[in-house]
Structure 1
Amino acid sequence: MIQDRPWFKNYPAGVPHEVDLEGYRSIMSVLDKAIEKHRARPAFRNFGKVLTYGEIDTLSRQFAAYLLGELGLKKGDRVALMMPNCLQYPVAIFGTLRAGLTVVNVNPLYTPRELRHQLVDAGASVLVVVDNFGHTVEQVIADTPVRQVITTGLGDLLGFPKGPVVNFVLKYIKKMVPDYSLKQAVRYRDALSIGARHTLPAVDIQPDDIAFLQYTGGTTGVAKGAMLTHRNLVANMLQAGEWISQGLDEGKEVIITALPLYHIFALTANGLVFVENGGLNHLITNPRDMKGFVKELKTSGFTAITGVNTLFNGLLNTPGFESLDFSRLKMTLGGGMAVQRAVAERWKQVTGVTLVEAYGLTETSPAACINPMNLKDYNGSIGLPVPSTDACVMDDAGQPLGVGEVGELCLKGPQVMKGYWKRPEETAKAIDANGWLHTGDMAKMDEGGFFYIVDRKKDMILVSGFNVYPNEIEDVVAGMPGVLEVAAIGVPDDRSGETVKLFVVPKDPNLTTEQVKAFCRENLTGYKQPRQIEFRKELPKTNVGKILRKDLRDAELGKPSQH
């Protein structure tokens, strides 16, 4: 069945079955080629300030020279970056990789406990942090192996007078920078100046060197570092690039980067694919400020945008979004969580562009399946395996299942991680003896090779012996007028083992529980209907907007059962 690879017959014209992995040795060779071809073109924009490819080259070299020449770091040492999207981020990423070091991306909203775990687990030598989060670092730095902290204000690369104004407003007017004290910390701009005085040595970067320790699984237990090599990232950039660049013009695209670059989706899809394409990444520092986000979109001239379902839903529900000029928009790519039909259909209606769903994991750098970019309408599928990628659905015994049968989605390809950092047992659980990565997602494949995610294995609800998938329930209820967001979980039930509980964030303040139940009765078979419904002002989410069902479940299990 796998040998047939039925997906090839639905590949868009011009997309190859395999990618040539020998084109680039490392991420740095991708960047250097982009710099050579597009030196004077804009590469990154933030708060109205633009850095060209040539400026990224100069600044990343200074940063690399600081790390090697001043701090004396050795090849393979880990540098942690704790920042939202700002101009310092790409400079630090490319500077760290240029020095032959490994980037450890850190979510800036981590609690002190989570931050300590990651810095210790990764064995990070250096930490770069934006001032807004310095107070978190201050609480844990003494318990970590970090020997140099580099601090920066969000405005530090915006030039004069904008930079100082932004820093002043954030600290003194918006009160977004709590006081902190980090002895011996170096300012980011000083690090660049010091680096400029050092000569950057030639560094031999091998395809199998670890480029990123990308932490994952924090929502299901202790966070693990996926070891992503230069080859993994370059392969995925080529795979996704071949897929999405049909119809894109080299050197002319503007991609909205609202998902943080510390998230693997934005890192590869925006930070690498569009850099190789010579495009401009428009960095959104705080996409949760939806009004400010829409204001930025007004002036951006954007041609492409990536995001998660909640981000697209948020934009669609923000006044002014529907009146933006979408005439240049060619591509909308959704991933990171299931795209809901109601959101996809409304996106097409408002923008005229199909919201194309993709699927990936941190462990696959991330792209594994993407729908054809010429898709006319939302189809509920995660798409076809990208070039050089095999996919199949397996049962619990590890046997491949046939068309339409539900089992665990398994993947194989050059984008699959080297393994989990210092966790051989976890690696062996995830990647079997035949090299298949077991995703933990329940899926099925149709005759045309399109894959459909049914749900997370761990999120599946068992009602009287029937499998109920939260994604299906959420998709249905999200289509109800008056509902803004929804999450479904399983809760213990004496009669049926488990039953469905629904959490609803209403758009219509007059929405009632009975209306939701009636809508579910109309659209869902008996055992799938929620027995309990709770209205909430908001749902717990990760920093990229993925709804945390686990947090809802944990809170529920602390309560006595209800009937």
Structure 2
Amino acid sequence: MDMPRGSQIPESLNPQGYSNIVDVFEKTCQAFSSKPAFTSFGRTLDYAELHQLADAFAVYLQRETDLKPGDRIAIQLPNLIQYPVVLFGALKAGLVIVNTNPLYTPREMEHQFKDSGAKALVIHKSMAHKAEKILANTDIKTVLLTQVGDLHGFVKRYLLNAAVKYLKKMEPDFYLPGALHLREALLKYVGQQPEPVRIQTADIAVLQYTGGTTGLSKGAILTHGNLISNMLQGVDVLDEAPSGCVETAIAPLPLYHIYAFTISLIIMGYGGHSVLIPNPRDIDGFVKELRKWKMTAFMGLNTLFIALCNHKDFPTLDFSQFKLTISGGCALTHKAADLWKESTGCEIMEGYGLTETSPVVSINRPGAIRLGTIGVPVAATDVAILDPEGRPVVEGMPGELCVKGPQVMVGYWQAERETAACFTDDGYFMTGDVAVREADGFLRIVDRAKDMILVSGFNVYPNEIEDVFCSHPAILECAAIGIPDEHSGEVVKLVAVARDEIPDVEELKAWSKERLTRYKIPKQIEFVDELPKTNVGKVLRRKLKEQQVNKEVA
């Protein structure tokens, strides 16, 4: 009889006997106490200091809040060293993490906070004005605020925080009575140890929100067992890489994203050092930061590889110790892979995964990289390629990629129907992506969920875009599709029918900025007389995509 998903870690992967993420954290900090763990804005935490600060946060949660094990805490931070402190401190107190995108609008924040039932929030001050608008509609009672420089020394802390607030004007005024500064909470209890909390392998560690197949985001339930399994599956892959491959790993992807989240755990498993990049869109600043390091590894995606390789100073960086590059989040193009290898001398290992699989399903292993594929399944993972009736396809033919393994989520939070709909009767998770399995086991994605738009590795779902724009008084109806973009893979295009007079497109985009995260805002808006539809009135997005292709060809 199969055990419930997420309740076990394969013994073959787990000689250390890890049972939960706190166990991983404790053993890692003990083994590598003097080694650097995370760096951001020039401040480095070694494993001993990270452990001490995480303990302090856990003590604060236990003594000064009414939060109990199993309660949810939302973390809405960019790539700062505060993130791992809060993450591991909250887990030590037995809480469930709700990773929240710092780019979210108040509308998106409210949905996620309410759906998860979050009772606490750790938020950067630059986003606090958004929280002010919606917290009264949620169950959140404990709010902790932080700024960029809060874990730096006095002079640098003052300068960094002042620069962000007054020079860059990135911290709008807000009013959150009762909110506490994270720095104060940590300083009050630094040096103290929290009360131990019994955490089972099957306990929920993270609610990781994803769009699934609908507009409203759903929380993928990831247990301690799910995340440790995927961490150990990653370690199994990197054991084949050159020694010291993650000694100094550049981490530009946001830790709230499941790809970066799990990669950071893998790096910790080796006692590696993650150099966090808070704003990878600032390519000049990014290259300047890279110049400080003899990097050994880089975790990125197609967009970043191209942007960096096109920077005039990138080829002048020190790649003498560079050993490993991993790509995920969106498809890797041959152009990006070739440019990267030419610039750095390092091949890119492309992998594939989803939020629902913690995330890694397959990867090109070191020394066995085949461009254009997503490699082979990671250890203890069974992949099936099924036809629409759920039957295995003939080898080499396309079908839906379905996955079974210890990294597969328990299900969606408080969404039994949606959970049941995405699993086969024999327990395979249906990814919605169409793949081909080659004779030697390599997998190749040939299509993906028919309507999803992938912008720089982020899932964008048309229903949400359409719901927002249909609320505008000038729009009668609309449909969102993805169109190719050389920088981000895809961008959103909105095709709309005006209610009366056609509104100004730039005004529409500006209006949507208050309602949608930046990467969800349409880059193109086109007005037409009518949308193509089925006999029952369903908009044919596929037809719109075909029309777009015909325009590009013409």
- State the TM-score, normalized to the length of structure 2: 0.81
Match of 1:396 among 388, 400, 412: 388
Does 2:369 correspond to 1:373? no
- Aligned-partner SS, 2:292: helix
Matches within 5 A, 1:254-333: 254-269=248-263, 271-333=264-326
**Structure 1 counterpart of 2:70, one-letter code:** G
Match of 1:416 among 408, 419, 423: 408
Find the counterpart in structure 2 of residue 154 from structure 1.
148
**Structure 1 counterpart of 2:296, one-letter code:** T
Tell me how far apart the structure 1 counterparts of residues 141 and 530 of structure 2 sit (CA, whole Å).
Answer: 48
Does 2:422 correspond to 1:430? yes
Show structure 1 runs of 5+ residues with no match.
1-15, 461-469, 475-486, 490-499, 508-537
Matches within 5 A, 1:122-133: 122-133=116-127
Find the counterpart in structure 1 of residue 378 from structure 2.
386
Matches within 5 A, 1:215-230: 215-217=209-211, 220-230=214-224
Tell me how far apart the structure 1 counterparts of residues 482 and 410 of structure 2 sit (CA, whole Å).
Answer: 38
Match of 1:339 among 313, 327, 332: 332
Q: 1:267 to 1:234 in 2, by over 3 A?
A: same
Tell me how far apart the structure 1 counterparts of residues 406 and 518 of structure 2 sit (CA, whole Å).
Answer: 27
Contact 1:38/1:251 (8 A) holds in 2: no
Contact 1:444/1:452 (8 A) holds in 2: yes
Match of 2:431 among 427, 435, 439: 439
Tell me how far apart the structure 1 counterparts of residues 354 and 221 of structure 2 sit (CA, whole Å).
Answer: 13
Report Cα offsets for 1:79-111 as digits up to 9, x if no partner.
Answer: 100000001000000001111110100001101
1:456 CA displacement = 1.1
Contact 2:73/2:95 (8 A) holds in 1: yes
Q: 1:381 to 1:116 in 2, by over 3 A?
A: same
- Aligned-partner SS, 2:90: helix
1:199 CA displacement = 5.2
Tell me how far apart the structure 2 counterparts of residues 305 and 384 of structure 1 sit (CA, whole Å).
Answer: 21
Tell me how far apart the structure 2 counterparts of residues 134 and 286 of structure 1 sit (CA, whole Å).
Answer: 19
1:250 CA displacement = 5.7
Find the counterpart in structure 2 of residue 62 from structure 1.
56
- Aligned-partner SS, 2:119: strand
1:313 CA displacement = 1.4
1:350 CA displacement = 1.0
1:245 CA displacement = 3.2
Contact 1:17/1:387 (8 A) holds in 2: no
**Structure 1 counterpart of 2:195, one-letter code:** P
Matches within 5 A, 1:530-549: none
Report Cα offsets for 1:471-514 as digits up to 9, x if no partner.
Answer: 9xx9xxxxxxxxxxxx9x9xxxxxxxxxx99555699xxxxxxx
- Aligned-partner SS, 2:176: coil
Cα RMSD after superposing both structures: 3.0
- Aligned-partner SS, 2:291: helix
Contact 1:250/1:278 (8 A) holds in 2: no
Does 2:104 correspond to 1:110? yes
Matches within 5 A, 1:173-212: 173-196=167-190, 200-212=194-206
1:356 CA displacement = 1.1
1:220 CA displacement = 4.1
Match of 1:36 among 21, 30, 33: 30
Contact 1:394/1:408 (8 A) holds in 2: yes
Contact 2:306/2:487 (8 A) holds in 1: no
1:47 CA displacement = 1.1
1:326 CA displacement = 1.1
Report Cα offsets for 1:156-184 as digits up to 9, x if no partner.
Answer: 01222111111001111111111111110
Moved over 6 A (4+): 545-548
Report Cα offsets for 1:221-263 as digits up to 9, x if no partner.
Answer: 1000001000000000000111023235469711111000000
Find the counterpart in structure 1 of residue 496 from structure 2.
none
Find the counterpart in structure 2 of residue 52 from structure 1.
46
1:430 CA displacement = 1.2
Does 2:203 correspond to 1:241? no
**Structure 2 counterpart of 1:285, one-letter code:** P
Tell me how far apart the structure 2 counterparts of residues 417 and 66 of structure 1 sit (CA, whole Å).
Answer: 30
**Structure 1 counterpart of 2:450, one-letter code:** K
- Aligned-partner SS, 2:368: coil
Tell me how far apart the structure 2 counterparts of residues 320 and 390 of structure 1 sit (CA, whole Å).
Answer: 43
Q: 1:505 to 1:199 in 2, by over 3 A?
A: closer
**Structure 2 counterpart of 1:44, one-letter code:** F
**Structure 1 counterpart of 2:335, one-letter code:** A
Tell me how far apart the structure 2 counterparts of residues 184 and 200 of structure 1 sit (CA, whole Å).
Answer: 24
- Aligned-partner SS, 1:333: strand
Find the counterpart in structure 1 of residue 445 from structure 2.
453
Deviates more, 1:218-227 or 1:64-73: 218-227
Q: Percent identity?
A: 44
Q: 1:375 to 1:559 in 2, by over 3 A?
A: farther
Tell me how far apart the structure 1 counterparts of residues 254 and 36 of structure 2 sit (CA, whole Å).
Answer: 19
**Structure 1 counterpart of 2:302, one-letter code:** N
Q: 1:50 to 1:504 in 2, by over 3 A?
A: closer
- Aligned-partner SS, 1:422: coil
Tell me how far apart the structure 2 counterparts of residues 560 and 123 of structure 1 sit (CA, whole Å).
Answer: 41
1:21 CA displacement = 7.5
Matched length: 477
Contact 2:300/2:327 (8 A) holds in 1: yes
Tell me how far apart the structure 2 counterparts of residues 558 and 134 of structure 1 sit (CA, whole Å).
Answer: 39
Contact 1:308/1:546 (8 A) holds in 2: no
Contact 2:246/2:267 (8 A) holds in 1: no
1:439 CA displacement = 0.2
**Structure 1 counterpart of 2:336, one-letter code:** V
Q: 1:295 to 1:64 in 2, by over 3 A?
A: same
Find the counterpart in structure 2 of residue 523 from structure 1.
none
1:72 CA displacement = 2.7
Tell me how far apart the structure 2 counterparts of residues 275 and 393 of structure 1 sit (CA, whole Å).
Answer: 33
Contact 2:382/2:405 (8 A) holds in 1: yes
Tell me how far apart the structure 2 counterparts of residues 558 and 174 of structure 1 sit (CA, whole Å).
Answer: 40
Contact 2:253/2:299 (8 A) holds in 1: yes
**Structure 2 counterpart of 1:455, one-letter code:** D
Contact 2:245/2:296 (8 A) holds in 1: no
1:49 CA displacement = 1.0
**Structure 1 counterpart of 2:158, one-letter code:** P
- Aligned-partner SS, 1:409: strand
**Structure 2 counterpart of 1:390, one-letter code:** D
**Structure 1 counterpart of 2:188, one-letter code:** I
Q: 1:430 to 1:195 in 2, by over 3 A?
A: farther
- Aligned-partner SS, 1:155: coil
